[in-house]
Structures are given as structure tokens and as C-alpha cells.
């Protein structure tokens, strides 16, 4: 086989290398518009936003109740203690029921007797009525039989009422949870004697919560007028779902503050009675406020900024000064951004695009 000259091999390799660079450059130029075209952007507008005033509020349970004894006796069983979760309809405590059981048996015996007397009186009245129809007995005997029947009927009704009362007293020996919740206090000990009205256990339900806020007198008129508020948990920027607002029609004479109760929607997580929360009351509309989606804000060390697109459509990080949150995903901008400018909605994607552009410039050089 004949060998090619050395100079011809060098020329061929140089040509292949040049072709590779041209192809790589062409691919880079093709990728560049694709990256920029997928960058999601939005134009910054200055619009009217709610003017908010922040106050501290505390959380309390909507359903909080104390289960008390409704009959006399001695505590025989305590099925739950503090911090235990109780399902609705469960027995939380039981009172010794011997006296109540005896009362039921006595009432049952009285009822059986009254039923027998009533049956006998019915039979007597039927017999006397038949004889009286044949004119074999005087009218006085018929009246006496009728009165005896009515008396037996009254005694039967009284016996039934006593039976119902005795059954209720027996039922009171088992204390039932009216709803599911957490036991926060136990008022009695095992073996302790209780009477009707003696507190046994106190519990709360975590399914439904509300926030109570003391609103100063100077703010209450605006708060009543707008009737809208946002509730934020400590350390969270997402507001909780508000169901309704209740305004108390009187002020505390010591603080001159009006109580406002904010009912939250059911199912709020990680919220417990006694916790403090931030409540933002809407006080009106603030015009000309520049705002951005909170998801578009990037934090790098001590720099807070957004990626702003220039005239060529290239993103650049610009430092801004943020204001208050306006809603769940919108925050006001106090400085560093003007209405009409375009920002990148995804800062991570914008940073990647910026690095790619910088790499291309370095490669071209």
C-alpha cells in the first residue's frame, strides 16, 4: 500500500478541525435562541393594591368544652388523660352505677305493676259497661269503673316517666365525648365522689380554629368598612384561609380596643390554641404600587433582587428593596424597579441562561 505524503495528512487534519469548530459554533447559535425563548417573563405594572395594617392575634379553638357529671356517684374509670386524643362518641369516664341501676330496676317494677293495674282496670270497665248496657247495675258502678281506669292510666304514665328518668340517670354514669379532640385538663381523680355539675374533663377540638385580635379604636372604623383580613403563621409567608369575621359591638374600657374574631376554614395544620399569629387587616387601596411575584425574587447572601431583561432580551440581576406582602404570592417593591420593565418569573432559569450567554461570549473571544 502506498503511503500518503506527510504534508497532505496535516492539511486534511486541519480541515477536519476547522469543520468541527464551525459545526460547534453553528450548534451554539442554534441553542442560544432556544434557551431565551423558553424564559418566562412578565411586565411589571403599578396597580392599586390593598393597604394593610398588621396586628398581633392569638389562636383559640372554636369547640372547647368541659364535660361535667350529671348524676351523683364515685368515679370508677378514667379512660383518658391530659394530651390524649379522644374520638367523638367515646366514653371518657364512668361513674359507679349501682345506685342508678337499682333505680332502673325499681322503676321497671313500678312500671310492670302499673301496667298490670291498667290492664285490670280496662277489663273491669269493659265488664261493667256490658252489664250496665243491660241495665243490671246502677250508673254509679259504671262511673267508678271509668274513674278507676283513668287512675290506672295516670299511674301507668307516671311509671313510664319514672322509668325514663331512671334510664337517663343510668346513662349519665358514662360520660361521652361530644366531638373529637384533645384532653387539656382532668379535674377529678379515680375514686373521687362527684355530684351533678362537678367538672370531670376539659377538651378542645383542633379541627376548627379562630383568631382573636384586639383592634385599636382609631382603626376599627376602616376594619369594619373593608371586612377583610389575612392571617399569617409565624415564619410563613402564606396566608391561612379565612372563613368569616365577627366584630364585637363594644370596646374594652381598659384598652379602648375592639375585639375582632376571625374564623378560619377547617383543616388548618400546625396551628394550636394559644399561638400568636400576624393578622393583616385591609384598610383601603394604595394606588401606584409596584409589585412582583414572590417566586421571581432571588436572595443571594445579603442581596435581594430580580432578573430584569434589557432591550436585547438578556436577563441581568438587579438589587431591589421589598415592602409588605400583598397576597399569597405577591410582594410590593419599594425601590430598584419601575413599572413597564420586564422581569424573569423563574430566577433559576434566568441564572442558567445568563451563565450560558457569558460562556458563549468567552468562547467567541
More confident residue, 337 or 13: 337
Element (H, E) at 308: strand 303-309
Instruction: With 0.75 as the threshold, say if the pTM is over it.
Output: no
Q: Burial level of 260, CB count in 10 A (0-12/13-18/19+)?
A: buried
Condensed to tens digits (0 to 9), the pLDDT of residues 227-239 reads 999 898 876 767 8
More confident residue, 342 or 246: 246
> What's the rounded mean pLDDT across residues 180-204?
93
pLDDT at 18 over 50: no
Computed over every residue of the chain, the mean pLDDT equals 83
Read off the pLDDT band of 28 (50, 70, 90).
very low
Element (H, E) at 56: strand 46-61
> What's the rounded mean pLDDT across residues 301-309?
84
Distance between CA 229 and CA 260 in Å, rounded? 11
50-61 in b/e burial notation, b at 16+ Cβ within 10 A? Answer: bbbbebebebbb
> What's the rounded mean pLDDT across residues 25-47?
58
> What's the rounded mean pLDDT across residues 3-27?
41
pLDDT value at position 361? 60
Count of CB atoms within 10 A of residue 182's CB? 18
Structural contact between residues 279 and 54, judged by C-beta atoms closer than 8 angstroms: yes
pLDDT at 129 over 50: yes
pLDDT at 13 over 80: no
Nearest to 88 by CA among 219, 189, 18, 182: 182
> What's the rounded mean pLDDT across residues 26-39?
48
The x, y and z cell numbers of residue 12, run together, are 486534511
Distance between CA 154 and CA 33 in Å, rounded? 98
Nearest to 102 by CA among 79, 68, 71: 71
Phi, psi dihedral angles at 142 (to 5 degrees): -65, -40
pLDDT value at position 360? 66
The x, y and z cell numbers of residue 306, run together, are 430580580
Structural contact between residues 132 and 141, judged by C-beta atoms closer than 8 angstroms: yes
> What's the rounded mean pLDDT across residues 206-210?
90
Structural contact between residues 121 and 155, judged by C-beta atoms closer than 8 angstroms: no
pLDDT value at position 21? 42
Identify the three-state secondary structure at position 84. Answer: coil
Amino acid at each position: 500500500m502506498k503511503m500518503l505524503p506527510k504534508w497532505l495528512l496535516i492539511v486534511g487534519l486541519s480541515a477536519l478541525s476547522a469543520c468541527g469548530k464551525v459545526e460547534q459554533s453553528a450548534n451554539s447559535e442554534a441553542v442560544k435562541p432556544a434557551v431565551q425563548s423558553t424564559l418566562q417573563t412578565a411586565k411589571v405594572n403599578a396597580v392599586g393594591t390593598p393597604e394593610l395594617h398588621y396586628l398581633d392575634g392569638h389562636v383559640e379553638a372554636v369547640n372547647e368544652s368541659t364535660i361535667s357529671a350529671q348524676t351523683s356517684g364515685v368515679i370508677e374509670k378514667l379512660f383518658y388523660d391530659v394530651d390524649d386524643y379522644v374520638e367523638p362518641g367515646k366514653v371518657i369516664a364512668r361513674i359507679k352505677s349501682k345506685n342508678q341501676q337499682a333505680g332502673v330496676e325499681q322503676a321497671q317494677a313500678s312500671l310492670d305493676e302499673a301496667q298490670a293495674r291498667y290492664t285490670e282496670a280496662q277489663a273491669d270497665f269493659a265488664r261493667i259497661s256490658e252489664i250496665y248496657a243491660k241495665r243490671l247495675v246502677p250508673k254509679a258502678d259504671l262511673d267508678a269503673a271509668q274513674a278507676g281506669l283513668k287512675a290506672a292510666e295516670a299511674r301507668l304514665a307516671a311509671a313510664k316517666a319514672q322509668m325514663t328518668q331512671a334510664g337517663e340517670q343510668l346513662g349519665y354514669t358514662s360520660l361521652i365525648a361530644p366531638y373529637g379532640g384533645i384532653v387539656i385538663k382532668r379535674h377529678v381523680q379515680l375514686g373521687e365522689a362527684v355530684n351533678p355539675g362537678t367538672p370531670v374533663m376539659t377538651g378542645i377540638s383542633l379541627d376548627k380554629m379562630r383568631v382573636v385580635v384586639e383592634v385599636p379604636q382609631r382603626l376599627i372604623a376602616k376594619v369594619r368598612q373593608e371586612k377583610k383580613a389575612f392571617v399569617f403563621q409565624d415564619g410563613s409567608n402564606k396566608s391561612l384561609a379565612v372563613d368569616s369575621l365577627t366584630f364585637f359591638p363594644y370596646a374594652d374600657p381598659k384598652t379602648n380596643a375592639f375585639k375582632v374574631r376571625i374564623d378560619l376554614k377547617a383543616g388548618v395544620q400546625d396551628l394550636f390554641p394559644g399561638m400568636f399569629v400576624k393578622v393583616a387587616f385591609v384598610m383601603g387601596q394604595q394606588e401606584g404600587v409596584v409589585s412582583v411575584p414572590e417566586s421571581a425574587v432571588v436572595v443571594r447572601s445579603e442581596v435581594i433582587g430580580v432578573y430584569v431583561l434589557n432591550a436585547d432580551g438578556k436577563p441581568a440581576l438587579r438589587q431591589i428593596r421589598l415592602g409588605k406582602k400583598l397576597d399569597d404570592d405577591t410582594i410590593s417593591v419599594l425601590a430598584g424597579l419601575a413599572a413597564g420593565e420586564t422581569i424573569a418569573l423563574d430566577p433559576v432559569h434566568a441564572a442558567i441562561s445568563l451563565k450560558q450567554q457569558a460562556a458563549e461570549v468567552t468562547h467567541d473571544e
